[in-house]
Amino acid sequence: MTRFFLFTFLLAVPAIVLSVASKIETGKAVTPLRVSRVCALLFGVFLAVAAIAAITGPHRIDLLSLLRQDGAAASPEHTIVFSVRIPRILLAAIVGATLSTAGAVFQGLLRNPLADPYILGISGGAAVGAVLGIIAGLDFLPFGVPVLAFLGSLITIVLVFGVAGKRRESQSGTLLLSGVIVNAFCTAAIMFLISTASGTRLHGIMFWLMGDLGLADTSQTLLGGVALLAGFIVIYLHARALNLLVIGEEQALQLGVDVEKTRRVLFFAASFITAAAVSLSGLIGFVGLLVPHLIRMIFGSDFRLLLPASFLFGATFLVAADTLARTALGPSELPVGVITALFGAPFFIYLLKKTEAGRCRF
Amino acid sequence: MPLLNVDNVSFRYGEQWVLRGIDFAVEKGDFLGIIGPNGSGKTTLLRVIDGILAPQEGAVLLEGTEIGKLRREALARSVAVVPQYSALAFPFSVEEVVLMGRAPHLGRWRFEGDEDNRIARKAMEMTDTLGLAARDMESLSGGERQRVLIARALAQEPRLMLLDEPTAFLDIRHQVDFFDRIRSLNRDRGLTVIAVTHDINLAAHYCDRIILLKDGRIGAAGPVDAVITEENIRKAYETRVMVDRHPGTGSPRITLT
């Protein structure tokens, strides 16, 4: 019964805040004041959801007693909340924020609403690395699988950009195509590896491919957080340039953007943070596609607001999804990617139907 | 010193020369039309003037400074382009699009301030788009979109405005409305305009001077009357035309024969 109420809160808090915001916030110009106001609001929602997530789980936490006995760090409740749940919430937040930010950047750079962080093949490369690592039994080493996954995605990034080359005219199209091809190749490689894997490894592989936030330890999580913050600062410096790039590369040039350099920096920063997040969590789908669209529908397309809002709401969304993933089926866990897709897809369709024709186009 | 000096410019894509020895100057306050058949190099010339393409020979000078040496931002503060409309991938309001014209005047961190909003408002007033400010670009008609793009170019506060076949998809009423607005900006505010267009009669009607391109070279250049002649048009377009006078304005007028 309590769990039911917690789930309801988990979903209701963000839903209510966003639907109220969508009434007030549409069609306004972006000012520093508005960016801070929206960010404060979304950060509040994040804190609320994170707090609910911290007290949700197979072991019931009595909030009052937890707060009262702050001196006694050794109590089991204290250990569960601060050593198990909060690190995992932090990881979910970092991965959710990364995928949503990177998704928004890729959608803008490729001028394509279907773009997500994985579109240029990062997921495929990371998966090949991770599956190799799991089959080789490296998941017992602290950094084994993440390092291989990270290397795999770096290799694909280099490969995809190498294939696309330096031609500016058709670069978006060439990038997309080479991303698709690299991903197809990696899928085949993964299938090959899986068919040779033993039964005991398969479970680990499946969980990695669907996304699992129970893998990383705290030091890895913190590394991911540092990568995300550095990447986000670089990306946000180019927020206005991204607005202009959405209008078209030639018009961006005519409005004073150094298109070549801006694209390079943004592609690299977004790919880098995605690679870091994927190596910690596996392939969590839908977040990077859904969150930027949701935020755009409510707060508009201006990247100066879209980026920080996607960052904060992406974190919130994945913390909520992960809480469901680890508690919905009792003591056993679901891969979080199953939840993001099961909830994300219908919700997305609902949003598409609801949004008036003029506001958003696909 | 002329505002713009196109100094013996040649440009090629790969091995193929598209512009050869283009040489002309534009004084402040000029209204110059560039016409010519398909593939004659009109759009390439406009891109060279705007610094998007770098000529292999010759140079384009803006008030004596080679534009290749200017940063994009500095160039965008002096030269604005009104492009043909292309669909946006994501929804932006009219006001947001017009304010984008202020981008070259703002640093990386600065948001648009009161001054920028005032300039954008004025640009919208001049183009009758103030009433559309909150509308989504995609919900506008072709004529309205083209006016918004003029407003964005005006918000750049340029000294030189380049028009890239801006009326190609507009009906005659909106073509006339568009060029009337541009001409009044040219006459009343001294805005220098270079317009690339397919429509010889529109060019003859609105421009002070015309350059007729043929095969990447200047086929004829000068005042409208000197360029729009049966002889010149026939040579450039390989089409027989009759040139007479517009009964109202006296500007030359072509008719197919």
| Residue pointed to by tokens 């996304």 | A211
CA distance A302 to B164: 27
Cβ–Cβ of A254/B91 closer than 8 Å?
Answer: no
Q: Does the residue B248 lie in any domain?
A: yes
Would you call B138 exposed, middle or buried from its count of C-beta atoms within 10 A (0-12, 13-18, 19+)?
Answer: middle
Tell whether ipTM is more than 0.85. yes
In a domain, B50, yes or no: yes
B90, B160, B162: best to mutate for the A interface, most A CBs within 10 A: B90
Q: Which of B87, B29, B70, B32 is nearest to B227 (CA)?
A: B32
Domain encompassing residue B21? 4-90+159-256
Phi and psi dihedrals of B88, rounded to 5?
-90, 145
Q: Is B139 in contact with A358 (Cβ distance < 8 A)? A: yes
Nearest CA distance, A70 vs chain B (angstrom): 42
Q: In sequence order, what are the residues at sequence separation of 6 or more whose Cβ sits closer than 8 angstroms to the Cβ of residue A90? A: A221, A225
**Residue pair A10/A56 in contact by the 8 Å Cβ criterion:** yes
- Pick from B52, B89, B104: which is nearest to A256 by CB? B104
- 8 Å CB contact of B92 and A302: yes
- With beta carbons less than 8 A apart as the criterion, state whether B142 and B168 touch: no
* β-bridge partners, B253: B244
For the segment A11-39, what is each residue's pLDDT rounded down to a tens digit? 788 888 888 877 777 666 788 999 999 99
Please report residues of B whose CB lies closer than 8 A to that of A304: 111
pLDDT digits (tens, 9 = 90+) for A198-208: 777 888 888 88
Give per-residue pLDDT as tens, A299-310. Answer: 889 999 999 999
Which of A58-67, A95-104, A296-305, B154-163 shows the lowest per-residue confidence on average (mean pLDDT)? A58-67
Going by the DSSP 8-state scheme, the letter that residue A141 receives in this structure is S
Q: What is the pLDDT of residue A74?
A: 64
Q: Nearest Cβ partner of A296 from B52, B90, B104?
A: B90
Measured between beta carbons, which residues in chain B are less than 8 angstroms from residue A359? 91, 136
> How many Å lie between the alpha carbon of A249 and the closest alpha carbon of chain B?
11
Q: What is the pLDDT of residue A69?
A: 62
Long-range contacts of residues A289-293, Cβ cutoff 8 Å, at least 24 apart: A289/A103, A289/A114, A289/A115, A289/A116, A289/A348, A290/A317, A290/A340, A290/A344, A290/A347, A290/A348, A291/A96, A291/A99, A291/A100, A291/A103, A291/A104, A291/A317, A292/A100, A292/A103, A292/A104, A292/A107, A293/A113, A293/A348, A293/A351, A293/A360
Query: Taking 90 as the threshold, does the pLDDT of residue A177 lie above it?
Result: no
| Contact assessment for residue A101 and residue A272, using Cβ atoms and an 8 Å cutoff | no
Q: Do B89 and A111 touch (CB under 8 A)?
A: yes
Which pLDDT belongs to residue B208? 93
- In degrees, rounded to 5, the angle at the alpha carbon of residue B157 between the alpha carbons of residues B154 and B159 is 105
Smallest CA-to-CA distance from A268 within A317, A235, A245, A313 is with A235
| Residue B61 domain flag | yes
Please state which of the four CATH numbers 1.10.3470.10, 3.60.15.10, 3.30.530.20, 3.30.470.20 is assigned to the domain occupying A2-119+199-354.
1.10.3470.10
Of A248, A256, A301, the CB nearest to B72: A256
Share of chain A above pLDDT 70, in %: 89
User: In one letter, which amino acid is A139?
Assistant: D
3-class SS string, chain B: CCCEEEEEEEEEECCEEEEEEEEEEECCCCEEEEECCCCCCHHHHHHHHCCCCCCCEEEEEECCEEHHHCCHHHHHHHEEEECCCCCCCCCCEHHHHHHHHHHHHCCCCCCCCHHHHHHHHHHHHHCCCHHHCCCEHHHCCHHHHHHHHHHHHHHCCCCEEEEECCCCCCCHHHHHHHHHHHHHHHHHHCCEEEEECCCHHHHHHHCCEEEEEECCEEEEEEEHHHHCCHHHHHHHHCCCEEEEECCCCCCEEEEEC
Instruction: Give the one of A30, A32, A361 whose C-beta lies nearest to B91's C-beta.
Output: A361
* CB spacing of A255 vs B99 below 8 angstroms: no
Looking at residue B174, what is its pLDDT? 84
3-state secondary structure of A214: coil
pLDDT, greater one: A315 or A268: A315
Mean pLDDT over each residue of chain A, to the nearest integer? 85
Interchain contact, A254 vs B95, CB within 8 Å: no
pLDDT of residue A358: 39
pLDDT in tens, chain B (257 residues): 899 999 999 999 988 999 999 999 999 999 999 999 998 999 999 999 999 999 999 999 999 999 989 999 999 999 999 998 888 888 899 999 999 999 999 977 788 999 999 999 999 998 899 999 999 998 999 889 999 999 999 999 999 999 998 888 788 888 898 899 899 999 998 999 999 998 999 999 999 999 999 999 999 999 999 999 999 999 999 888 889 988 888 888 888 88
Q: What is the pLDDT of residue A80?
A: 80
B93: which chain A residues are within 8 Å (Cβ-Cβ)? Answer: 27, 300
Q: Nearest Cβ partner of A255 from B88, B101, B136?
A: B101
Chain B positions touching A243 (Cβ under 8 A) are 92, 96, 100
Radius of gyration of chain B (CA): 19
Please enumerate in sequence order all residues whose Cβ is within 8 A of that of A260, keeping only pairs 6 or more positions apart, or say none. A168
Instruction: Please give the Cα distance from B130 to B120 (Å, whole number).
Output: 9
Q: Are B192 and B160 in contact (CB under 8 A)?
A: yes
Task: Answer for the pair A160, A121: CB distance below 8 angstroms, yes or no.
Answer: yes
Reply yes or no on whether the pLDDT at A292 is more than 80: yes
Nearest by CB to residue A27, choosing from B72, B90, B134, is B134
For A111, name the nearest residue in chain B, comparing CA atoms only: B89
B7: left (phi over 0), alpha (psi -120 to 50) or beta: beta
Whole-angstrom Cα distance, residue A216 to residue A120?
Answer: 24
Q: Residue A362: pLDDT band by 50, 70, 90 thresholds?
A: very low
Q: What is the pLDDT of residues A38-52, one digit of tens each?
A: 999 999 999 999 998
* Rounded Cα distance, B224 and B204, in Å: 6
Residues of A in contact with B112 (CB under 8 A): 29
Query: Which ranges in chain A belong to alpha helices (H)?
Result: 2-25, 32-54, 63-68, 76-79, 86-109, 122-135, 144-164, 171-196, 199-210, 218-237, 239-247, 249-254, 259-281, 287-299, 303-327, 336-354
- Residue B49 CA to residue B46 CA, distance in Å, equals 5
Under a CB-based contact definition with an 8 Å cutoff, are residues B181 and B107 in contact? no
Q: How many CB atoms lie within 10 A of CB B132?
A: 22
Asked if residue B63 lies in contact with residue B9, where contact means CB atoms within 8 angstroms, the answer is: no
User: What is the pLDDT, as a whole number, of residue A360?
Assistant: 44
Position A14 scores a pLDDT of 82
Give the per-residue pLDDT at A327: 85
Going by pLDDT thresholds of 50, 70 and 90, the confidence category of residue A75 is: confident
Domains of chain A by residue range: 2-119+199-354
| Residue B147 is assigned to a structural domain of this protein | no
Residue-wise pLDDT for A113-158, tens only, equals: 888 888 888 888 999 998 998 888 776 676 788 888 889 988 988 8
What CATH number is attached to the domain comprising B24? 3.40.50.300
Say whether pLDDT at A7 is over 80: no
Q: Which strands, in side-by-side order, build the sheet including B65-66?
A: B16-26, B4-13, B57-62, B65-66
Looking at residue B25, its pLDDT comes to 95
- Contacts for A31 with CB less than 8 Å, ≥ 6 apart: B111
Token pair of A214 as six digits: 């129970």
Give pLDDT tens digits for A330-361. 778 888 988 898 888 887 787 777 665 434 44
Global pTM reads 0.89
Q: Is B80 close to A31, i.e. CB distance below 8 A?
A: no
Please give the tally of structural domains in chain B: 1
